[in-house]
Chain A
Amino acid sequence: MSLLDAQSLTVRFGGDAVLEDVSLSLEPGEIVTVVGPNGSGKSTLLRALLGIQPLASGRITRKTGLRLGYVPQKLHIDRGLPLTVRRFLSLPHGHAAGEAARVLARVGMAGMEARQLVGLSGGQMQRVLLARALLARPELLILDEPTQGLDQPGEAAFYKLIEEVRTEMGCAILMVSHDLHVVMSASDRVICLNHHVCCQGTPHVVSNAPEYRALFGVGTRGALALYQHDHDHAHDHAHDHGHGPGHDTGHDPDHDRGQDHDHDPEHGHGARDHA
């Protein structure tokens, strides 16, 4: 059965729908990556699935007793708070010292128990956050742009670590990422989000789609391509949010090519119009 199943999630900030009719479900052991332009609701979706963000409507069903690990985008520790890595790992529930040492070693932070959290670099902090999430022995690990603020090698190393952890622990992973290479190489499934689910499928399927080629055709276009992708996206025409993943999940390359994803002057409004 699914670890987590979300049906028609809608989240509003004030009057604006940040998420509208988003449905998704996560199976044991799979890596699912959420991509989308800035402000498209990626973090909000993760926060909603974690139960942090109240829903305007929709329903989230978790497998009974689901063990969740959460790695936030970043964690700011007030300088007034003295906190060692060891103490942080034991919040809110304590663990045996050996257990903490084991996960710290796993994330490449062996012997760092006594270090103060405020003195850690960005990369070290992310590793500690991952270690804390792993202590819960998660069946589902949720990561919100875990490499934001890391340099290129640090980012690559962190994603490698996540993949190793998945292989060892067999947990499912849901993450938001900007690193398109990682998305395409490491994900079982990609979800394109722009307030609603634009499309989703395996990287292979997505990578054969015309819009994917527009997105990744030239490697150096990188994250910028995301915005263009969004801008070009024909799903937005008539703001038809009615088609959910049920419609999108099964689409194959041919089907995709058959659809009109080209620029349409009449329906030229993209994310910028309702951003």
Chain B
Amino acid sequence: MTPNTAMEPATMLEPFLLRAVLAGLGLALAAGPLGCFVVWRRMAFFGDATAHAAILGVALALGFSVSIYVGTLSMALLMALTVSALSGRGWAADTMLGVLAHTALALGLVAISFVPGVRVDLQSYLFGDILAVSWRDVILVWCGAALVLSGLAWRWSGLLTATISEDLAQASGINPAREGLVLTLALAVVVAVAIKVVGALLIAAMLIVPAAAARSLSRTPETMALFAALIGVLAVLVGLWGSFHFDTPAGPSIVVAAAAVFILSAGLGGMLRRG
């Protein structure tokens, strides 16, 4: 469980590092395009709430001895559906999301402390432990990513129309609620597969930062989705390399790398517009 003991230069091609790279790439490929919708629909806080609920899912999974993936997926889904159902009922969206997100996180942390007989490494769920992922984890990440990407591709046109205007979508015979549900499901899947990679607190970063970085380089939604995926891939590679060389935590290093790309692309985009 403590991969740092194996972190020596000679282990560059160690299987754990290969698994980490593969898990990170799988997540980045799905989180980039999905993150574009999170940006376009201003769902950043929604993503946060869903991700924070995953900690509660971890607690329940440990308590009932089921897979972490089952726990996080079901709690993320429950949170996402709850938020969707409650939206527009009295409270401002950000207030309601704030209450739910932090309640879920705090409740999860409290619940984990009750799990008997297990000394839980909380940090690995809050910030991820990508260097400890198993081959089974890698396969699950790629299955989740494939599911999310095929879902987005399948509904792309309707999703995009509903994102631009619910009225225009409905006038074209598209049901915006159904398209929103597709995104909600995709978000829950990404949260579930991301918890071991970057952890509950940084999942939203993997959704938003690459998409935001892709914005200033793109002229159509499709190129933005593609760039977001590629920037996520770059961030995973650079982040893991940095983590390896500077002995920094892997998940946060990936997010820092993505943030660096964002700053670069924002500057580049600004120059392109002026030039």
Query: Are B161 and A92 in contact, with the CB atoms below 8 A?
Result: yes
Let me know if A249 is at the binding interface, CB within 8 A: no
Interface string of A58-82 (1 = CB under 8 A from B): 0000000000101010010110111
Report A73-121 residues with CB < 8 Å from chain B CB.
Answer: 75, 77-78, 80-84, 87-88, 91-93, 114, 116
In the bound complex, what is the Cα–Cα distance between A114 and B163 (angstroms)? 20
Query: Are A82 and B221 in contact, with the CB atoms below 8 A?
Result: yes
Report B222-262 residues with CB < 8 Å from chain A CB.
Answer: 222-224
Query: Are A91 and B171 in contact, with the CB atoms below 8 A?
Result: no
Query: Are B40 and A52 in contact, with the CB atoms below 8 A?
Result: no
Query: Are A72 and B220 in contact, with the CB atoms below 8 A?
Result: no
Q: How far is the CB of B217 from chain A (nearest CB, A)?
A: 9
Query: Are A81 and B169 in contact, with the CB atoms below 8 A?
Result: no
Query: Are A82 and B215 in contact, with the CB atoms below 8 A?
Result: yes
Point out the residue from A52, A70, A82, A92 that lies within 8 Å of B158, measured CB to CB. A92
Point out the residue from B163, B168, B174, B219 that lies within 8 Å of A116, measured CB to CB. B219
Q: How far is the CB of B4 from chain A (nearest CB, A)?
A: 38
Complex interface: chain B residues within 8 A of A93 (CB): 157, 172
Interface string of B133-165 (1 = CB under 8 A from A): 000000000000000000000000110110111
Complex interface: chain A residues within 8 A of B14 (CB): none
Query: Are A82 and B218 in contact, with the CB atoms below 8 A?
Result: yes
In the complex, how many residue pairs between chain A and chain B have their CB atoms under 8 Å apart? 68
Q: A87-B221, A91-B160 are in contact. Are A72 and B42 (CB under 8 A)?
A: no
Complex interface: chain A residues within 8 A of B218 (CB): 82
Let me know if B167 is at the binding interface, CB within 8 A: yes
Q: Could you say which of A52, A72, A77, A93 has the most chain B C-beta atoms within 10 Å of its C-beta?
A: A52
In the bound complex, what is the Cα–Cα distance between A20 and B163 (angstroms)? 31
Query: Are B170 and A50 in contact, with the CB atoms below 8 A?
Result: yes
Interface string of B20-56 (1 = CB under 8 A from A): 0000000000000000000111100000000000000
Query: Are A84 and B220 in contact, with the CB atoms below 8 A?
Result: yes
Residue of A whose beta carbon sits closest to that of B38: A80
How many residues of chain A have a CB within 8 Å of chain B? 24
Residue of B whose beta carbon sits closest to that of A69: B171
Let me know if A47 is at the binding interface, CB within 8 A: yes
Complex interface: chain A residues within 8 A of B212 (CB): 80
In the bound complex, what is the Cα–Cα distance between A274 and B161 (angstroms)? 37
Query: Are B174 and A84 in contact, with the CB atoms below 8 A?
Result: no
Let me know if A15 is at the binding interface, CB within 8 A: no
Q: How far is the CB of B175 from chain A (nearest CB, A)?
A: 10
The 4 closest A-B pairs by CB, nearest first: A70-B171, A92-B161, A52-B170, A82-B218
Q: What are 19 A-B pairs at a CB distance below 8 A?
A: A50-B171, A51-B171, A52-B171, A70-B168, A72-B168, A75-B165, A78-B40, A78-B42, A80-B39, A81-B39, A81-B164, A82-B220, A82-B224, A84-B220, A87-B221, A91-B157, A92-B158, A114-B219, A132-B168
- With contacts A81-B163, A83-B164 known, what are 20 further pairs, Cβ within 8 A? A50-B167, A51-B170, A70-B167, A70-B171, A72-B168, A78-B40, A80-B215, A81-B39, A81-B40, A81-B164, A81-B221, A82-B218, A84-B219, A84-B220, A91-B160, A91-B161, A92-B161, A92-B169, A116-B219, A132-B168
B residues whose Cβ falls under 8 Å from a Cβ of A = 39-42, 157-158, 160-161, 163-172, 174, 212, 215, 218-224
